[in-house]
Amino acid sequence: MNQTPQHIDEQFVQELKQRKESAFSKLYDNYSGALYGVLQRMLIKEELAQDALQESFVKIWKNIDSYDKSKGTLFTWMLNICRNHAIDMLRSKNMKQKIQDIDKSVGLVNKQASASTSEDHVLIKELVDNLKPEHRQMIEMAFYKGYTQEELAEELNMPLGTVKTRARAALIQLRKYFDK
């Protein structure tokens, strides 16, 4: 029987939610390389990236019930968990290094992720690239580099209200693309 990738993903997610060890092993085997690459780019140090990957997979395992396919792919959900964990690590260690730019991030993920995931990242990059320059800057710095709105205001030397307005406008514009 030939199943569609979407059907396989739904079945796979169900196995994860049932806490099947074989599903978790498959999850790790299929996604750890791509996620590790992103973490390594963000955290620079190999040992930090390894720790972050392990801790992220524990979070993924514990929180799999909160995954909602209507909000994105499984890989995107896991990528956000890893990204947020890496940002937390950077902030908790007071490491104020610049995190990767969007081109490096998307390029790395595209090389290591599946074809459908690569298409998602290319599409998102294209959508972000089509934003007004001031909106694109907000998305790149906030999402891909982990800046808070307060940090953006300081870094860009602009009022916090302006940063909030531009970030909101950028998100509204991106939402329009996804609602089509």
Residue 2, phi then psi, degrees to nearest 5: -100, 115
DSSP assignment letter at 142: I
pLDDT band at 101 (very low <50, low <70, confident <90, very high): very low
Q: What angle do CA 54, 57, 58 make, to 5 degrees?
A: 90
Give me the pLDDT at residue 100, please.
42
Per-residue pLDDT, averaged over 125-134, amounts to 78
Q: Give the rounded percent of residues in the chain with a pLDDT score beyond 70.
A: 74
Band (pLDDT 50/70/90 cuts) for residue 52 is very high
